[in-house]
Chains A and B, each alone.
Chain A
């Protein structure tokens, strides 16, 4: 009897476990697969970017790039590279053909020294962060020296303030923003100091407090100063919003600062803490590029991955990686994006620029996000449905459709889409609305059913109680 029962149990359990082992999503770890993240796990998605072009050789009579640190694309899609190791700036047209070399050996009037960054304005005037010369040089499109910006005179800046501009950007009002460790220094066109923007604060760290509490004086001297996290690179969009990458270990590696320097981007951690071979790494975001539609591309130097986010901080795709084949990098140093949405990644070891072209899949996603932001919900929904035809598991598409359905007051369908997207907060919102509408519609019926169920329950429990009570009484005797 018992053995038979055990056998049945075993069969039952085996049958149930068959159901549970059904795999809905497979996770990957290969380097050349594009993916998004589900928690910490990677969910593969169709190819989002493919290499269109590799710019690595200059003309035959000039040298190759040497440890280039920054890339900039102007509004005519000309490409400028700060060729740091060769102390010069090179300019290519949008096809990757060399147009101009600034600061080459034959031009004695202006010699750069270790230029780490550059900015090009709408008139194609070039501003070079001439780091080791402690100045910012302003050149005309033909390489003529116009002016230079040096350390501004101000009572607010003491003598220990060093002026070593690495990354610069000029906003629409003409202020020059200079990256200075944990904040941005602004100077105006007359070289006057205009203040700091977006200073990072020192975060409270309990272990550091403990160490300081018990360390001796000599030990304390050897501990690095507790400085706030420093920025690594930044861009400023048309509205004056600063997008910056930050060298922090835990969270807020990507920030979006409004005009008063407050972070208005999604709070939380970005990037991954394991690489393609499941080894632990600490992400180090080195550069950021924002295109005309507000799509944010952030470059992680350690994993060599490009993480693409929308304005709400949703991850759209991850591509790239460390490797020796096309589409991967050795040590990426800068990223930029042109008006067609092509992404340019500069590599300081391979000394080349790889141009990534968006596939139709990611173009659809960008289009849908654009339509939603403009308030054209029906069009956005149609395009999200196209995205789902490519990839059924793309969560953002389901969330996108659900948001549109919420606007259309189709709660039940929105609930389904939110469940597909695994978005509990969204599901709860849709369900609350659905429940409210259901109660409004069938209020009388619901009350009736509840009363009937409660009465039946009371009667049954009363009967069972009596029966059991009698039984126990009988048994005691």
Chain B
């Protein structure tokens, strides 16, 4: 089974696909494949912003910030992977980091696969069809969420209840990670200003 087949099979037989990953018989470089998938997510997102029919878009091309879009699409996934790996390793999970990474990025497949046809479809929708538009968009995201949950369940051999527990805990951990990073940045900037001012003072003394 090669990478293309793996990527397609997650759309059709998700449970079996995750079991195959768990069996560790595949000879695919997971790191390369998941970086490629992450890259695809960003690219697809940008194409989607460009192609979306004008009355349905709440983000105009003029106001789009590419860096922000990259962060918006990749950072949540990466944080999820880190949090999930950390949590499952203390809650008798069975995955390696790379397996967690590949399962999370594979779960983004419905988005990668369907969002461009969806943007094409939006070309025949107008502002009055915004309900249908949002419904389809929600459907895609629910599909992604289901894949993520199935991935966690199958790869770690959890029961459904435990999987849902883990997912809720995971979300909390993600918030914690973000909080810690923000705290760290704030403290680092404080430290930086302190050192900077100290340096200035010393320089003034010797002048």
Contacts and interface: CB of A to CB of B under 8 A. Distances in A.
Interface of A: 1-2, 5-6, 9, 12-13, 16-17, 20, 23-25, 419, 422, 424-425, 427-428, 431-432, 435, 464-465, 468-469, 471-472, 475-476
B12 A20 contact: no
B61 A20 contact: yes
Contact of B128 (A2, A422, A428, A476): A428
Interface string B1-39: 100010011001100110010000100000110011001
Contact of B32 (A2, A16, A419, A475): A2
B126 A431 contact: yes
Contact of A432 (B35, B67, B128): B128
29 contacts: A2-B31, A2-B32, A2-B35, A9-B35, A13-B42, A13-B66, A16-B46, A20-B65, A20-B66, A23-B62, A24-B62, A424-B55, A425-B127, A427-B54, A427-B126, A428-B55, A428-B126, A428-B128, A431-B126, A431-B127, A435-B124, A468-B5, A468-B12, A469-B13, A471-B1, A471-B5, A471-B9, A472-B16, A472-B17
B116 interface: no
Given A9-B39, A17-B66, A17-B67, A419 B9 contact: no
Contacts of A6: 35
Contacts of B1: 471, 475
A432 B126 contact: yes
| Residues of A contacting B: mostly | helix
A351 to B, nearest CB: 45
A422 B32 CA distance: 42
Contacts of A424: 54-55, 127
A24 B62 CA distance: 7
Given A1-B32, A13-B70, 20 more contacts: A5-B32, A5-B36, A20-B66, A24-B62, A424-B54, A427-B55, A427-B126, A428-B126, A431-B127, A435-B124, A464-B8, A464-B12, A468-B8, A468-B9, A471-B5, A472-B13, A472-B17, A475-B1, A476-B16, A476-B20
A353 B54 CA distance: 47
Interface of B: 1, 5, 8-9, 12-13, 16-17, 20, 25, 31-32, 35-36, 39, 42-43, 46, 54-55, 60-62, 64-67, 70, 124, 126-128
Contacts of A435: 124, 126
A1 B31 CA distance: 12
B29 to A, nearest CB: 8
| Residues of B contacting A: mostly | helix
Which residue, B16, B17, B25, B64, has most C-beta atoms of chain A within 10 A? B16
Contacts of A9: 35, 39
Given A427-B127, A471-B5, A5 B35 contact: yes
Contacts of A425: 127
Contacts of A471: 1, 5, 9
B117 to A, nearest CB: 10
A427 B126 CA distance: 8
A9 B39 CA distance: 7
Contact of A16 (B55, B60, B66, B124): B66
A412 to B, nearest CB: 13
Contacts of B54: 419, 424, 427
A24 B124 CA distance: 27
Contacts of A465: 12
A475 B25 contact: yes
A17 B31 CA distance: 25
A17 B70 CA distance: 11
Contacts of B13: 468-469, 472
B115 to A, nearest CB: 17
A18 B116 CA distance: 22
A357 B118 CA distance: 53
B45 to A, nearest CB: 11
Nearest to B70: A13
Contacts of A24: 62
Nearest to A23: B62
8 A-B pairs closest in CB distance: A428-B127, A17-B66, A431-B126, A468-B9, A428-B126, A424-B55, A472-B16, A428-B55
Nearest to B42: A13
A87 to B, nearest CB: 55
A435 B25 CA distance: 52
A435 B128 CA distance: 12
B36 to A, nearest CB: 7
A450 B179 CA distance: 50
Which residue, B31, B66, B126, has most C-beta atoms of chain A within 10 A? B126
Nearest to A18: B66
A399 to B, nearest CB: 15
B188 to A, nearest CB: 25
Nearest to A464: B8
Nearest to A6: B35
A427 B127 CA distance: 8
Contacts of B39: 9
B62 A25 contact: yes
Contact of A431 (B9, B35, B55, B61): B55
Contacts of B25: 475
B124 to A, nearest CB: 7
Contacts of A476: 16, 20
A450 to B, nearest CB: 11
A52 B5 CA distance: 76
B80 to A, nearest CB: 21
A6 B70 CA distance: 14
A431 B16 CA distance: 45
A431 to B, nearest CB: 4
Contacts of B126: 427-428, 431-432, 435
